[in-house]
Amino acid sequence: MDFDLNDDQRLLADSVGRLMADHGGFEARTDILRQGQGWNRTLWRNMADLGLLGLGFAEEDGGFGGGGVEAMIVAEALGRALSLEPWLATTVLAGGALRRGADAAQRAARIPAIVAGEHVMALAHAEPDAPRHRLEASGTIAALQGDGWSLTGTKIAVLHGADADELVVSAATDRGTALFLVDGAAAGVTRDGVVGYDGIPVATIRLDAAPAERLAGDAAGQEVLAAVIDDAIAALCAEAVGVMAETVDLTGEYLKTRQQFGTPLGTFQALQHRLVDMLIQVELSRSMATHAALAIDDTSAADRALNVAAAKAQIGRAGRMVGQNAVQLHGAIGFTSEYKVGHLFKRLTAIDALFGDADHHLGRIAAAPGLPQLA
């Protein structure tokens, strides 16, 4: 299998890398967090101008027809920069629900605005009393109300949910789980936003007979959710590769400059070996992230699920190993909020937890049909 990027993909990688280097620096991120702004609106507009918000959408819908590899390229660059912007929430999660579950009219009403950076969306699925990682919605109920629908229930841990102009919400109907569009400012919608420990804004959203529009595509809501979450896992794996690569680079530079007993730490062979072990985990993870990115475009639903589960399991364990070693090799400075390494480790920890940690995805692989089951 050819893992080399083509000319267009290399140009994309160079462009998004320069954008994040110029406008997505760690100091700017720190200022945004300190001021409570959530994320950088200017950078978001720059991302739109560069076409990054339209990569995942079909050309007939106003996008640029990119696939899993293009999403991987963008996500890796965002990971290196520790981006706070709602790219995952808007273009991968909610945008993926539009691509896979909306009809042409619903897509036309939203996707061009997303591509232009004028419409932020979020996917609201997790519920406080539901089993973790369950695709079915049970605590949020959809009821027919005249010619439309109304939703009642609570959603938790909604990425960028407090800032979203519109939500894609999963809810239970008499025919199973369905997906609905809800205006973020509609009557009956209450949003409580907080900042996660990795800096990403999250929200609890309460719906009290909130008016909603059902996604009108042909696919079932649970089928759409499964595919969208696999898309998000593949993107998170690529982001984690960027986070880990930045972590290894910073650690290598630190070992070259920090001196102990009058000599740079990087001259000690034991520390060199630890840095090499970290780099090996990054490259293993890069291979798995690439495989996941290819799988979401070209495989069946069952194979796609296995491939992204395998990638997520590798990413989770590698991220912990890289993050822990980076903090240890930096010493006390690795724990400080003024230094990037600690923030990188927090993001790796959050990525491991999002949509199932390494142990959860190993369980998915072990339970897959065709594999021998233990009694």
User: What domains are defined for the chain?
Assistant: 7-85 (1.10.540.10), 122-218 (2.40.110.10), 222-366 (1.20.140.10)
Helix (H) or strand (E) holding 330: helix 301-330
- 3-state DSSP assignment of residue 281: helix
Distance separating alpha carbons of residues 195 and 157, to the nearest angstrom: 10
Q: E-strand spans in the chain? A: 121-124, 141-145, 148-159, 166-173, 176-183, 189-195, 201-214, 259-260, 263-264
pLDDT at 374 over 60: no
Per residue in 8-48, pLDDT (tens digit) is 999 999 999 999 999 888 999 999 999 998 999 999 999 99
Per residue in 295-330, pLDDT (tens digit) is 998 768 888 999 999 999 999 999 999 999 999 999
Per residue in 140-150, pLDDT (tens digit) is 999 998 888 99
Letter for the amino acid at 203? A
- 3-state DSSP assignment of residue 95: helix
Single pTM value for the model: 0.94
- 3-state DSSP assignment of residue 285: helix
Letter for the amino acid at 52? L
Better-scored residue on pLDDT, 2 or 137: 137
Mean pLDDT in the chain?
93
Distance separating alpha carbons of residues 169 and 151, to the nearest angstrom: 9
Better-scored residue on pLDDT, 1 or 304: 304
Residue whose pair of structure tokens reads 């629908």 in the numeric block: 149
Letter for the amino acid at 69? V
Cα 180 from chain centroid?
21
